[in-house]
Amino acid sequence: MTRYRLIYIGLGLVALAAVLLAVAFGGGGEPTELPEPIESITPHPNDSALTQAILEVDLESGFRAQIYVNGFLIPENEVSFVEPTGVHRWQPGPDSLVMQVWSPGIQEVRIVWDSLTGLPRPGEFEWTFRVQ
């Protein structure tokens, strides 16, 4: 009888540890309200990401963004930008002037945007995420 109790207690502890890890390393909880013209960002604010993470900023078409990571401006030639969709993508790599890999810990991202045509519609948004 004692052996089965120990097995059940052990299984219960493993299940509890799995739940605690999911809460600790899971998503940021409440969704963040994004200002216009931001349609989406990845990784989301307060999320955890892997070192292979791709930073993606999706703006309404007709807008262009400058991306700052940990205070450093990402050069335009390193950012993949698809004008018709407004999607900007960047990932650290061996040819990057800013960083070759994501370092573990908190990453600060700031985007500054403006409209490509018509009257200026500037704005900015900042968020952080954690790299595991």
Residues 6+ apart with CB under 8 A from 46: 27, 28, 29, 32, 127, 128, 129, 130
Overall pTM > 0.85: no
Answer for the pair 50, 131: CB distance below 8 angstroms, yes or no.
yes
Mind listing the pLDDT tens digit for each residue in 45-86?
Answer: 999 999 999 999 999 999 999 999 999 999 999 999 999 999
CATH number of 31-131: 2.60.40.1220
Mind listing the pLDDT tens digit for each residue in 75-131?
Answer: 999 999 999 999 999 999 999 999 999 999 999 999 999 999 999 999 999 999 999
Residues 6+ apart with CB under 8 A from 120: 114
Answer for the pair 89, 79: CB distance below 8 angstroms, yes or no.
yes
SS3 state of residue 48: strand
Write down the domain spans for the chain. 31-131
